[in-house]
Structure 1
Amino acid sequence: MDRLACGDVGFGKTEIATRAIFCAVSAGKQAMVLAPTIALAKQHFDVISEHFSKYPKIRVGLLSRFQSKAEKEEYLHMIKHGYLDIIVATHSLLGSRVVYNNLGLLVVDEEQVCFLSSMLFRTFNVSDYPPR
């Protein structure tokens, strides 16, 4: 199921995304949030972390180029083994080094849509993520 939320600032796009993330994570899936810049990724991380602060079992992570190599490796391990439910980052999440445990939802911020469609189809093979 593909959906596109369009609207001006303050129209509730982030709220829609947050509710979709909650549904995906509640179903045992991981959710990935892509932002066009690190600053916006941090903003999304802060908003999502605040929304899910009432749910201590839901773990949110921010992958950033400002992390040390050891921190990045730890995050990649946590993503691969399902220790993170929600991962927020820039297009670095599309790299071949990132292996997901049970990816169920991809939220893409507006500015990346232009180049992402072809990259996503090359990066994610539908058969890699069968329905459960």
Structure 2
Amino acid sequence: MGYGKTEVALRAAFKAVMDGKQVGILVPTTVLAQQHYNTFRERLTNFPVNVAMLSRFRTHAQQAIIVKKLREGEVDIVIGT
């Protein structure tokens, strides 16, 4: 806690996306997934980066849309459990 792990993940993900890659971030809990999703969206709002989240908090329909967008390259960073 408080050692900068999220910051390192965010910067590494951003660099990968700027290099044309897609990034998946796995976290151990749905609460942490939501926290990371909020942080990534807030921090990357001024950049052309699309962040999505997959967890039990999403309906099956929402999950299907996110997976489709991932396949089509419309999602740059996906955070999930």
Which TM-score band (shorter chain)? over 0.9
Q: Which residue in the other structure is 2:42 paired with? A: 50
Equivalent residue in structure 1 for 2:23, among 13, 27, 31: 31
Aligned-pair Cα RMSD in Å: 1.0
Of residues 63-72 and 35-44 in structure 1, the stretch that sits farther from structure 2 once superposed is: 63-72
**Structure with more relative contact order (C-alpha pairs < 8 Å, separation 6 or more):** 2
Q: 1:65 deviation in Å?
A: 1.6
Report the Cα offset of residue 31 of structure 1.
0.7
- The alignment of Structure 1 onto Structure 2 pairs a total of residues equal to 81
Residue in structure 2 matched with residue 71 of structure 1 by the alignment: 62
Q: 1:20 aligns with which of 12, 31, 51?
A: 12
**1:100-129 residue CA offsets vs partner (Å, 9 max, x unmatched):** xxxxxxxxxxxxxxxxxxxxxxxxxxxxxx
2-structure distance, mates of 1:66, 1:16: 25
Kindly report structure 1 stretches of 4+ aligned residues shifted beyond 3 Å.
Answer: none
Identity %: 40
Consecutive unaligned residues of structure 2, counting only runs of 5 or more, are none
Structure having the higher Rg: 1
TM-score by length of 2: 0.93
